Amino acid sequence: MNLKEFIKECHQKEVFKNLSIYVVSSWVLIQVFSEVWEPFGLPKISMTYLLLVLIAGFPFYIYLIWRYRLKSSETKLSQREGMKFVKNKSGDEGVESQLKKRKVHLPGIHFYSPFQKMYFTFLFAILLVSVFAVALIVRANFINEPEPGAFAFAKDDSNDKIAVLSFENNTTDEELDVVGKMAVDWIIHGITQNDIGQVISPKVVEQYSTVLKASLLPEEDNGILTEYLKPGKIISGNYYLNKGELLIQCVIMDGNMNETLETIEPVTCESDSPLVCIEMLKQRLLSALLEEDERYTVYEEKPPNYEAYKMMLGMDKYESHTPEYLNLLNEAIALDSTYFEPKLHRMAYYYNLEDFAMADSMVRELASADLKSSRQQNLVKLWTALINGDNKKAFTYLKKEYNTEPDDLNNNSSTMVLALQFVNRPEAVDSVYNNQPIMAYIDSLSCQTCEYRHFSKGMADIALGEPKKAISMFSDYGKVKGFYWIKDVLLYANIRVADSLEVDNILNTIKLTGDFPTWQDKCLLVAEQYLLLGNPSRADFYFKQLLESLEAPSAEATQREKELKAFTHFYMEDFAAAAVIFEDLLKEDPEDIDYHSFLAMSLFKIGQIEKAEKLLEEIENYRADYQYGKIDYAKARFYAVKGDTDLLIQNLIRAVAAGKRYNPGTFHDDVLMKPYTELESFKNVLNFWH
């Protein structure tokens, strides 16, 4: 029986009519259930269960059509056509059987006719499709990623995002602009403090307005919300003066801004006491946002001093590492000693300058304060873990902060950095990077603030064995000036796909755009990567270029130039020349740990073993707080060169336990560690924080 005949017979036997009954009934049931599940108080996952039942039941329904509608008539037809077994009488050698040999394709199913054979073939095909569809639904809704307990980010089971738009100043007094900004901040504080939902702040909307491709930008910021960020609820408001009094009002709208869900009763206060209005408005708004059985007045920490708050709005005028930035923070704290934000930024200021002792004293001061905000408590725990070198705890606390405001580019970037460099989980980077569909519209070449996000994403792809993915995403960066972090990604990736021509093109772009010292640094990076991948001849090509550039006549070689020359000689295995330069460098900076370790390794390689080991012992004299495993890692390098596997692993474990990061050029990316990377004990070092 061919397909055309089979379809014709299905029409005659009303098979398609019966199938349409199931399909239409299922569709109606889904439509009805989508409207009634919420009023009945059923969980949202109930719809998934219904789909599973309907899809899994379809093949069974097709079998029932055969069993109760087609089988009897088909069996009779088969008998009329002579398709039955006839006993052969003994001696009847000439009797020919008119029967076709029966084949068993499914347990207990015997094919009496060509129609039945074709019918059950299609049934089997539909069964496979159903099983595949059920597997996809189960995987998407019930099976988590590997080790979800350690690296599970917030799932979008329901849209709990709340966007808080800038409040419009209708007072005609620009001096009162700060009132709207403070109202927004205090409302956001209340939402996050009570875990009502994820927040999209005006700052986030502004970030994406800046970095989205111009051709795709909506005409207004509201378009970014409704088309890209897609919150579940949107809060907007305005304020004006009424007979000398300040009046603030706001509404809660749906995510498309086409329906007002609730209008908040306006609040009034004296125009010179806006904090009274702001606190009252926050309490009324929280009452509206909380579930009906959870409505209560939440007494938060008091709003900051008004003048201190206005001062903090000027933070963006200064670079975060400048004295002016620090002075502003100190002045805000002087105006309000309980103001948390400037204290947090001041602590981060010292941490980023690597003055860890000062940062530690400040975070201890914050930890000893009576903080009632859970978000503030979490941030203090995060910074405490960072300063203590407890990378696992740091990542855990950062995930909580990330889940509070995942759309913020700074939160997004920091989470990727900690996943990749602090706990060595490159597989966790992708979900953070692609958390929002809006990320696909980021214009890479116009987004300076996105550079480190891209770097982390690219390095994670390379670590996962997908260098071509990084190249396809960031190839444009190789042709423009600057963006050196992402050029590193391209260099790493192109080396791994053996595209030496593109590596040369990127280096030439760096050299021709005028940053010669950066070109020298990248030559060393590229040469080390070729050594790591077992291509010494290609590595020597770049080492020689670097040495030629360093031999150029100059009044006096700088410390940086001496460093480059020393490392180049070391990796080219000219250990005698390297030892001379490292000795000279050590005289200039006798406490530099790297100078000690590389000099010790150079001396060991030229046979001065006793002197090398003595130098290594001297490193212990420089052990201090806040080094994050630097001395232990330096000793591990020495034992890697010496070939002492046990001491190598011991020191690596000490280093990583003290907070040593998995930065480029360390651990599995360190040329000196290459002979040991396949050892199980070395892999345990990489998985230490897992």
> Bigger pLDDT: 585 or 283?
585
pLDDT reported for residue 299: 29
pLDDT reported for residue 105: 44
pLDDT reported for residue 40: 67
Cβ count within 10 A of residue 666: 20
Residues of the chain with pLDDT > 90, as a percent, come to: 42
Judge whether 249 and 239 are in contact, CB under 8 Å: yes
Question: Considering only 247-256, 279-288, 319-328, which range has the smallest mean pLDDT?
Answer: 279-288
Q: CA-to-CA distance for 289 and 284, rounded, in angstroms? A: 9
pLDDT reported for residue 614: 94
Cβ count within 10 A of residue 590: 11
Average pLDDT over residues 81-85: 42
pLDDT reported for residue 93: 46
Average pLDDT over residues 290-297: 41
Domain ranges of the chain: 3-81+102-142, 161-297, 316-379
Judge whether 328 and 318 are in contact, CB under 8 Å: yes
Residue 442 DSSP symbol: B
Instruction: Indicate the pTM of the whole model.
Output: 0.66
pLDDT reported for residue 553: 56
Per-residue pLDDT band for 9 (boundaries 50, 70, 90) equals confident
Average pLDDT over residues 673-686: 95
Say whether 590 sits in a helix, a strand or coil.
coil
Question: Considering only 452-456, 458-462, 584-588, which range has the smallest mean pLDDT?
Answer: 452-456
Cβ count within 10 A of residue 276: 14
For residue 458, count CB atoms less than 10 angstroms from its CB and return exposed for 0-12, middle for 13-18, buried for 19 or more.
buried
Backbone angles phi, psi at 96, to 5 degrees: -100, 135
Cα angle vertex 153, ends 152, 156, to 5°?
120
pLDDT reported for residue 197: 80
pLDDT surpassing 50 at residue 504: yes
pLDDT reported for residue 98: 42
Tens digit of each residue's pLDDT (9 = 90 or more) over 408-418: 778 888 999 99
Tens digit of each residue's pLDDT (9 = 90 or more) over 139-179: 766 664 334 334 444 444 467 788 888 899 988 888 888 88
Q: CA-to-CA distance for 572 and 585, rounded, in angstroms? A: 19
> Bigger pLDDT: 105 or 610?
610
pLDDT surpassing 90 at residue 557: no
Q: CA-to-CA distance for 378 and 374, rounded, in angstroms? A: 6
pLDDT reported for residue 152: 44
> Bigger pLDDT: 293 or 205?
205
Backbone angles phi, psi at 669, to 5 degrees: -105, 15
Average pLDDT over residues 464-489: 90
pLDDT surpassing 90 at residue 261: no
Backbone angles phi, psi at 606, to 5 degrees: -100, 15
One-character DSSP codes across 87-137: PPPTT-TTPPP-PPPP-EEETTEE--SHHHHHHHHHHHHHHHHHHHHHHHH
Residue 580 tokens read as: 């001379």
Average pLDDT over residues 510-517: 86
Half-sphere exposure of 146 (CA within 13 A, CB side): 5
Tens digit of each residue's pLDDT (9 = 90 or more) over 356-397: 999 999 999 999 888 877 888 899 999 999 999 999 999 999
Cα angle vertex 642, ends 638, 648, to 5°?
60
Per-residue pLDDT band for 2 (boundaries 50, 70, 90) equals confident
Q: CA-to-CA distance for 154 and 401, rounded, in angstroms? A: 11
One-character DSSP codes across 204-243: HHHHHHHHB-GGG--SSHHHHIIIII--SEEEEEEEEEET
Average pLDDT over residues 176-186: 88
Query: What proportions of the chain, in percent to the nearest 5, are helix, strand and coil?
Result: 65, 5, 30
Say whether 290 sits in a helix, a strand or coil.
coil
Mean pLDDT of the chain: 83
Amino acid letter for position 114? P
One-character DSSP codes across 559-579: HHHHHHHHHHHHHTT-HHHHH
The CATH number of domain 161-297, selected from 3.30.450.20, 3.20.20.60, 3.40.50.10070, 3.30.1490.100: 3.40.50.10070
> Bigger pLDDT: 423 or 192?
423
Tens digit of each residue's pLDDT (9 = 90 or more) over 38-52: 666 676 677 888 888
Which whole-number Å values give the CA distances from 110 to 74, 97, 101, in the listed order? Answer: 12, 18, 10
pLDDT surpassing 50 at residue 482: yes
pLDDT reported for residue 316: 77
For residue 241, count CB atoms less than 10 angstroms from its CB and return exposed for 0-12, middle for 13-18, buried for 19 or more.
middle
Q: CA-to-CA distance for 415 and 147, rounded, in angstroms? A: 17
